[in-house]
Amino acid sequence: MPSLPDASTRIPIVDYDPRWPELFAREAGRIRSVLGSRALRIEHAGSTSVPGLAAKPVVDLLLVVVDSAREDAYAPPLEAASYVLQIREPGWYEHRMFKGPDTEINLHVFSSGCPEIDRMLMFRDWLRGNAADRDLYARTKLALARKEWKHVQDYADAKTAVIEEILARACADRNG
């Protein structure tokens, strides 16, 4: 399996593109058509799922399966549809990540019941409804994108403190 690709030097952040929900819907339909009932849930996640938020021009999809460690249950049909497994992280919730056949996507695969699913969706939903935190996150991403990064993951890791701060507010609001 290929290793994580290096970033070109800077992370491209673009203005919100109103076509991102359409691209998500097309990919979700394609995934549902090849996986059927094995796709327990497909969600639009990440910054492209938040209207008005600047983002890397890569649509993140969240795919929930029974057991993401059992690749034989879902990877062969995805690969037959030209999705390519890029990342396998058994030590982090058995996360898998595929790239799409013709659209810039990250298809994140997790097992049903994985706490990362709720975390990702809570972050998305909070940013959709909270302009102040959406702006904070956008400013953070834009500032970090101006720096040079050896790996895309280094950029992602640099956002962690702000993400955790925002998630803490979302959790406090949820637990009210």
pLDDT bracket for residue 31 (50, 70, 90): very high
The structural architecture, per CATH, of the domain 20-175 is: 2-Layer Sandwich (3.30)
pLDDT in tens, 55-112: 999 999 999 999 999 999 999 999 999 999 999 999 999 999 999 999 999 999 999 9
- Contact present, 59 and 20 (Cβ < 8 Å): yes
Domain ranges across the chain: 20-175
Q: Which residue has the tokens 């991403």?
A: 141
pLDDT of residue 141: 94
**At a CB cut-off of 8 Å and minimum separation 6, what does 100 contact?**
27, 82, 83, 107
- Considering only CA atoms, give the Rg of the chain: 16
Q: Is residue 95 a contact partner of residue 87, using CB atoms and an 8 Å limit?
A: yes
